Chains A and B, each alone.
Chain A
Amino acid sequence: MTEKTAALRQAFEEKLNAVGSSEAAEQLRVEFLGKKGHISALMSELKNVPADQKKQAGQTINELKKYAEEKILEKSAQMHQMEEQRRLDAAESYDESLPMQIECGSYHPITLVQRELEEIFLSMGFTIEDYNEIVDDYNCFEALNIPKHHPARDMQDTYYLSTGQLLKTHTSAAQNTIMRKYGAPLRAVFPSRCFRNESTDACHENTFFQMEGIMIDTDISISNLIYFMKTMLSEVFKKDINVRLRPGFFPFVEPGFELDIECLICGGEGCPSCKNSGWLELCPCGMIHPNVLKYGGIDTEKYTGFAFGLGLTRLAMMKYGVKDIRVFNSGNLKSLSQFISQ
């Protein structure tokens, strides 16, 4: 019996040495330690061993069993590790720099700029209003203190329609309707497409976007106007922006201003972009003319207000460095597909 056990042990060791994979280790385990394995078989022979040797023989087999279990566990772990290493070695390191195409949709740049501004104004308590592109003479001119024969009507060339209406030349055309709808106090911005009958080139478009804003309350002052313009523009350009006002003539405001911002390119030092003045003309604004408030049904003794008009198309050009305004209405995806998000 002892010899048999020793022979089995030897056979086990030989086979163990030959194991080269975790599957082989498992096979070896089944062969020796399985229910029908060699060691079980040896155990079952114990009943034939004389009683005085039984204890000894049983101990020897148990030692072998324990030994085999340990060795196989050890081998199996070793094989597992080896195989894992082999898989690691064989694995490919991926090149994420390969020029893979991704497909993206795109927003129109005006949408992006408009959304950004709308969010800023919304956060400052302004409602966002939307009005028709086709308006009448009253809303576009009369209600804005621009009577017939006023030279201001020469400043803007208007598309007149067969219905007697016109394509709005400026977002201010919505002022009267909004004042009449909400009354005072009032804070609103109203972006819209506007139209001017002029020939197009790199700097001129007959169809473009503006965003108008008005704020009316009991004590709205020039000082407030400067505050809101400075705050809003600092948000738009994401840095502290210096602004300055100069007198500007628009019939629907009094006093009227041209608002300049410190040149974004040279920071006010003077450069070709700002014609060496250090300032860029950005938007017209002013205190709403009392006549305009009156037309809008607002008590001019009680309320004052300011209004401003931002050129969304121009802002988009500045923000994205678009040199030719005609890109916006071109429908050309080579240009427009670049505007994938804010």
Chain B
Amino acid sequence: MLVSMNWIQDYVDLKNENIEELIRRFTLSTAEVEDVYYKGKDVENVIVGEIVSLENHPDSKKLHLLKIDGGDRLYDCVCGAPNVRLNMKVAFVKAGGRVPGGEISKCKIAGYDSEGMCCSEAELGISEDHSGILELDTDAANGTDFKFLYPIDDIVFEVDNKSLTNRPDLWGHYGIAREFAALTGKSLKPILQTEPDYTGDTAIPVEIQNTDLVYRYSCIQMDNIRRHVSPMEMKIRLTYCGMRPINFLADVTNYIMLELGQPTHAFDARKIDKIVVKTPQSPFTFQTLDGNDRAIDENTLMIYNNDTPVAIAGVMGGLDSEIVSDTTSVVLEVANFDGVSVRKTSSRLGLRTDASMRYEKILDPELTLIAVKRFIFLVKAADSGAVVASKLTDCYTKHYDTVTLQFDKNYVDRYTGIDIAKEQILNTLTLLGFDAKEENGLFTVTVPSWRATKDVTIKADIIEEITRIYGYDNFEIKTTRSKLKPVRYTVQKSEESQIKDILVQKYLMHEVHSYIWCDGKKYKRLNIDVEDNVRILNIPTPENGTIRNSMLPTLLSFAYDNRGYSDAFSLFESGRVVDGVDENGLCREQRKLGIVLFDKTVSEKELYFKAVGIIRFLCQSLKHADPSFEKTAVEHNWQHPKNTSCVSVCGTPIGTLCTLHPATLEKLDKSASVVCVEIDLDALSAVKPLDLVFCEPSKFPSIDYDLSLVLKDGVLYSQIEKAWTCLSIQELTSVKLIDLYEADGVKSMALRLSFSAPDRTLSMEEIQGHIDQILANLNTIGIHLKA
């Protein structure tokens, strides 16, 4: 919203104030000022001139050769405006002077000297009218500075509308003037109004059918309005505040809206007999005054003249009843409509107007009568022949409750942390229009009507009023006196952090972030199906509407995007997935870690074992336990049916390890090896870590015994291992895999068994005894020593 400081100064005396500093304080105390414009600053050397000679240009139908009396001398001017007349008083910018379009210099136009320019309103930046040059209706002497005639110097600032959403009172200059009054401690001047002086019996009948949507409806008729063009001062203010002057009556309604924040609407009185406010029985099309057809449904609150719709309540009037050039008699509507209803209507129609924006904020119903009386004042001030031609009709259907709040000084002190004097509290609240009293330490504050529609309802709201005017810059900054307690990261948090460190620092992986939904297009590139899951109802791209049930497809997609980045890289993401819904139909949200290893330099098998190593390292670091792996059926079509394993630690399943199905791998990169890991972080966090138990190293030598075993197809190491684990040999301290090889079609494995005892040197016979037992066990599963 644009605010004119000239307008503000109609209501608060800021004569000796630093306006720029005040605007800065407005940002700190009320709402953010986004920009400040210095209007009229670029208008220089524009004077009142009179056309004293007028000749047609010999070679042009449009151009005229003028002599302008500039007070000091006559000036030559070549002018193309259609409305030039002899003895016309014009705004003349002398060569060397300036208008918002730039500096004007002496030049030759179509062969003739021109020593300046006759300006249109648009050229002076005071309206958008560029149909012709501005004709000055003035007795001022030729040569008088234009700025002496009209207040075109003004400081206009723009407030971010969003920062006014909770302040319906700030949608007009008067409310903003009240803020400046509070900031400077000056009093706010009253609004000049004229009481209706009509003595007859005529009144506009008003029938409100939806009393829940109309809080107040006031209207009055005025006749004999002959004026069509607004006074220049009004046009300048409207223009400076971003509103295009149209005609006198439309301009007055807009002026009142900008001044009071209260929208008003003027109907041509010839079109109005009886006002009915209601929602329609059935949908229809209605032409608004901007010439567009609007689809009206049964929920749209409308204004009717008897049975004819004439306006969309709170949004826009109809074309048929708008003010036209021969309108001399108007019915003025000043109403207070339900804010939610107006907001819904305007968003349904895609029609957000200055009026609807204000109604949305929930306006003070007390404003309607003030606006009516202000209208009478402004119309009569500009057109003395105008008369009020009806009684005032005022249907006040919903009064807001008076809000009175009580609190003590201690409450203010506690909330602010500082000591704001009692007098200052009372003074601030009074300047803002609150009725504030203090008795025996108890403050009693009555909220003014313009703040009582929703804005100020509780004690904490009063704290804001006091503190913002006090100024947050003036606050003493203090720490708290709360009790100290030791705090730590949660297990979940510290484990996640530890995992990230291991993956980044030890395995040189890259952490990425992706989206919580499946990207249909990207999945398709890799032959990955979007599996049924919870959906987002209102996502603009429906192919992305499904929430992911695994971290891996998006990571695979990233691997695909990065395949040119390097021959070998690994990615991981810690995030959320949804594993369908629970028994209450709500999302089963899980914290997951996804890892994708991509490598063109090693075989899939090598990479797979690297992944096994990573998982084992994570489990050892976090839980001091070795994980177990068990082949499992695939859950997703992109997983390899032979190499998809469930990972468990301490008996709890914590994730999956897999390679890719050839159909996906082929799309991703034929020449690369890819291995995926997905860990359920919640399941992992729930596993209690084993204690780290110290084991004194034996002082006696350890003896190694190597076994070379011939393997049998389908036999896993986890089965071979049982040959000695079932014996629980205390002296067997470690078993290492030395080699895994294949020669002449025979697969073999070399293992090194280490034996030692804490109290003695083991004898060869003792060890051989254990070995014989182990070999006997191996024989039962068909594994024997290599010849």
Contact = CB atoms under 8 A, between A and B. Distances in A.
Contacts of B500: 107, 111
A104 B356 CA distance: 57
A160 B513 contact: no
A132 B475 contact: no
Contact of B480 (A224, A256, A287, A328): A224
Contact of B587 (A130, A134, A257): A134
Interface stretch (A31-39, A47-55, A246-254): A246-254
Given A105-B508, A133-B589, A249-B166, 17 more contacts: A115-B497, A127-B490, A133-B576, A159-B539, A160-B538, A161-B534, A197-B539, A206-B515, A219-B417, A224-B479, A246-B472, A247-B30, A247-B163, A258-B163, A290-B459, A333-B569, A337-B510
Given A127-B487, A334-B565, A219 B587 contact: no
Given A244-B473, A254-B464, A151 B535 contact: no
Contacts, number: 226
B490 A128 contact: yes
B73 interface: no
B575 A289 contact: no
Nearest to B511: A108
Contact of A287 (B415, B473, B516, B536): B415
Interface string B205-218: 00000000000000
Q: Which 6 A-B pairs have the closest CB atoms?
A: A221-B417, A223-B417, A331-B558, A255-B464, A105-B504, A245-B472
A336 interface: yes
Contacts of B360: 151
B534 A104 contact: no
28 contacts: A111-B500, A111-B511, A122-B489, A125-B485, A128-B493, A136-B586, A151-B361, A154-B343, A159-B538, A159-B539, A162-B535, A185-B483, A197-B539, A220-B480, A221-B416, A222-B416, A222-B417, A224-B417, A227-B478, A228-B479, A246-B472, A255-B464, A287-B463, A289-B460, A329-B514, A331-B557, A331-B571, A340-B504
A104 B566 CA distance: 13
Nearest to B480: A224
Interface residues of B, number: 89
Contact of A247 (B31, B510, B585): B31
Interface of A: 103-108, 110-111, 115, 118, 122, 125-130, 132-134, 136, 149, 151-152, 154-155, 159-165, 167, 185, 187, 193, 195, 197, 199, 206-207, 215, 217, 219-224, 226-228, 230-231, 244-249, 254-258, 287, 289-291, 304, 328-329, 331-334, 336-337, 340
A317 B641 CA distance: 43
B81 to A, nearest CB: 39
A329 B511 CA distance: 11
Best-buried of A103, A108, A136 by chain B (most CB within 10 Å): A108
Contacts of B62: none
Nearest to A219: B414
Given A161-B536, A227-B477, A244-B28, A329 B508 contact: no
Contacts of A134: 576, 578, 587, 589
B695 interface: no
Contact of A332 (B461, B538, B561): B561
A103 B487 contact: no
A136 B162 CA distance: 26
Contacts of A248: 163
A199 B484 contact: no
B476 interface: yes
Given A227-B478, A227-B479, A333 B562 contact: yes
Nearest to B483: A185
B224 to A, nearest CB: 42
B718 interface: no
A247 B581 contact: no
A103 B508 CA distance: 7
Interface string B554-568: 110110011001100
B563 to A, nearest CB: 10
Interface of B: 27-32, 162-163, 165-167, 340, 343, 347, 360-361, 414-418, 458-461, 463-464, 467-468, 472-473, 475-485, 487-490, 492-493, 497, 500, 503-505, 507-516, 534-540, 547, 554-555, 557-558, 561-562, 565-566, 569, 571, 575-576, 578, 581, 585-587, 589
B513 A110 contact: yes
Best-buried of A115, A206, A337 by chain B (most CB within 10 Å): A337
Given A106-B511, A289-B460, A249 B163 contact: yes
Nearest to B504: A105
A172 B236 CA distance: 46
Contacts of B487: 122, 125-127, 187
B480 A105 contact: no
B32 A167 contact: no
Given A226-B475, A227-B478, A207 B516 contact: yes
Contacts of A222: 415-418, 463, 467, 472, 475
B533 to A, nearest CB: 9
Given A149-B340, A333-B562, A255 B460 contact: yes
A105 B417 contact: no
A290 B581 contact: no
A108 B464 contact: no
Contact of A290 (B32, B361, B458, B490): B458
Best-buried of B340, B464, B513, B576 by chain A (most CB within 10 Å): B513
